[in-house]
Amino acid sequence: AEPPRARTPSREAEADFYCVKWITWKGERTPVITQSENGPCPLLAIMNILFLQWKASGVKLPPQKEVITAEELMAHLGDCILSTQPREPSEGLQLNFQQNINDTMTVLPKLSTGLDVNVRFTGVSDFEYTPECIVFDLLNVPLYHGWLVDPQSPEVVQAVGKLSYNQLVEKIITCKQASDSSLVSEGLVAEQFLESTASQLTYHGLCELTAAVREGELSVFFRNNHFSTMIKHKGHLYLLVTDQGFLQEERVVWESLHNVDGDSCFCDTDFHLSHAPGKEGATAAPPDHRLQQRQVDQDYMIALSLQQQQGQDPSALSDLELARQLQQEEYHHHHHHHHHHHHQQQQRQQQQVPAQGRAQPAGRPAGERRQRQKPDLDCTLL
């Protein structure tokens, strides 16, 4: 297998226009902006939310539109921001609105290349407050991540604390050089945490995310330097499929986010399972690591289709939850067998899974990002 191709700046500059995929969403023809490169592109994640909720945002495209440029998207976004007075403006926010608009206009160009966001490991809405976050606040678009420390690991909680990603990296470097052995070991614990959670989604994070996101809420999910459009439907999380490889697949709209290992299923616009046709040749394979439809786990699919037949909302511990736990145990017990199976399937599909790089977003300390209310729920995966 050849190594994943590195993106060069010249390639990045070329990706100045995007293909439009038309889907039926809540009975209306709705555009989804797709991308050919696995770039960060928060612009698409935000714009796709505005298109999906066009009734509120007023953002629409002519029905014959097949290609859109970054400039056009920016113009739509700018209009949208200018028309968005804060919903519940505090005095400060009202006074700052013009300043925020000015700040936003400086941030906008970064949206098509990459934003500096810096996660804190304490909660799914916790980011260091950088000017970049203003765009999300002004548009009332929640920004989430799932890279959380498990509260049941007290020494990790102690080592990571309320630090942001950037601060934690600095702490690790400092601790390694310390003469105090307890500091050295704390640094090692922190480093081990970053290495063992390189996928940037933990089980505790997934639980908290599922609890925090409101039913039907559209939001942006940040993971591995990638911004995705996320929705919660009947208690489960899904990411919008924006890969250009699926431009013609109208039945592939959402991808489930139900475990941290990257196994996922594709669903149509009504969140029913869609069996994506096997792609021929490595080039047709979607470049995004999340989109590798490796062994789609049978328990999950059976539970999901059972649930859909019965038309029920998942109860506290649904078939799906049980299947998920079973699958987790299965995964750990029969990892080698599974790995072999994965390998065979990957050969069949001729898909290369790119190595997951850790995002190293550069941020600046600039006060706290405001906390969003989240339901007081605690769930533990056994």
Q: pLDDT digits over 19-69, tens only?
A: 999 999 999 999 999 998 766 689 999 999 999 998 888 888 999 999 999
Average of per-residue pLDDT across 303-330: 55
**CA dist 113 to 42, 92, 276, Å?**
8, 30, 29
User: Checking phi first, is residue 350 left (phi over 0); if not, alpha (psi -120 to 50) or beta?
Assistant: left
**pLDDT value, residue 37:** 75
Of the pLDDT bands very low, low, confident and very high (cuts 50, 70, 90), residue 314 is very low
Of the pLDDT bands very low, low, confident and very high (cuts 50, 70, 90), residue 159 is very high
Of the pLDDT bands very low, low, confident and very high (cuts 50, 70, 90), residue 86 is low
Residue 272: pLDDT over 80? yes
Residue 109: pLDDT over 90? no
Which of the pair, 81 or 63, is modelled with greater confidence?
63
Which residues are the active-site residues? 41, 226
Pair 33, 42: CB distance under 8 Å: no
Pair 203, 381: CB distance under 8 Å: yes
Of the pLDDT bands very low, low, confident and very high (cuts 50, 70, 90), residue 332 is low
Average of per-residue pLDDT across 138-150: 95
Phi first, then psi, for residue 37 (nearest 5°) are: -105, 150
Residue 70: pLDDT over 70? yes
Residue 94: pLDDT over 70? no
pLDDT tens, position by position, 183-242: 999 999 999 999 999 999 999 999 999 999 999 999 999 998 899 999 999 999 999 999
Residue 9: pLDDT over 80? no
Which of the pair, 83 or 18, is modelled with greater confidence?
18
Pair 26, 271: CB distance under 8 Å: no
Which of the pair, 298 or 264, is modelled with greater confidence?
264
**pLDDT value, residue 87:** 61
Residue 320: pLDDT over 70? no
**pLDDT value, residue 29:** 95
Mean pLDDT over each residue of the chain, to the nearest integer:
76
**pLDDT value, residue 101:** 78
**pLDDT value, residue 235:** 96
Residue 3: pLDDT over 60? no
**pLDDT value, residue 8:** 38
**Does the reported pTM lie above 0.85?**
no
**pLDDT value, residue 326:** 60
**pLDDT value, residue 231:** 98
**pLDDT value, residue 370:** 39
What whole-number distance in Å separates Cα of residue 107 and Cα of residue 115? Answer: 8
The beta-strand segments (E) located in 192-303 are 218-223, 226-233, 236-240, 254-256, 266-267
**pLDDT value, residue 2:** 44
Q: Residue 259: name the closest of 165, 330, 357, 360 by CA.
A: 330
| Planar angle of CA 207, 274, 351, nearest 5 degrees | 85
